[in-house]
């Protein structure tokens, strides 16, 4: 399953962070969002019936620029097609990045454990 057309909706602060990024980083990020949406589309089909969207936290490193980024997104499908909402996008210090990544991984492990016993 490949999704080639989707809408991106940016929260104001997330859009400001995106606009601040160097052009090559913006271009690479947009290409990564296509892969993210393709994965979301698969998850969306398997979501619980009471869920209207699926979401995730992505951690991105840009070594050439010494940047560490965290992107929080949500995906849903409307009658017009797939929609990716970027509701939080932050540049972090390396320490904040590592702490956030660790917290996110722990939360995923807990969620996986909870869902495996339902």
Find the range with the poorest average confidence among 4-18, 49-63, 85-99, 100-114: 100-114
The string of pLDDT tens digits covering residues 19-51 is 999 999 999 999 889 888 998 999 899 888 888
Gap between the Cα atoms of 56 and 75, Å rounded: 9
Taking the domains of the chain in order of start, what are their residue ranges? 7-116
Fold of 7-116: YaeB-like fold (3.30.2310)
DSSP line for 12-71:
HHHHHHHHHS-HHHHHHHHHHHHHHHHHHHHHHHTS-TT-S-EEEEEEEEEGGGTEEEEE
Question: pTM for the complete prediction?
Answer: 0.83
């Amino acid at each position: 399953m490949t999704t080639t057309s989707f809408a991106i909706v940016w929260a104001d602060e997330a859009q400001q962070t995106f606009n601040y990024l160097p052009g090559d980083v913006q271009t690479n990020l947009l290409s990564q969002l296509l892969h993210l949406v393709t994965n979301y589309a698969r998850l969306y089909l398997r979501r619980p019936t009471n869920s209207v969207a699926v979401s995730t936290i992505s951690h991105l490193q840009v070594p050439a620029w010494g940047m560490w980024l965290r992107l929080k997104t949500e995906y849903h499908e409307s009658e017009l097609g797939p929609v990716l909402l970027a509701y939080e996008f932050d540049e972090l210090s390396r320490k904040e990045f590592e702490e956030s990544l660790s917290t996110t991984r722990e939360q995923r492990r807990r969620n996986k454990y909870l869902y495996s016993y339902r």
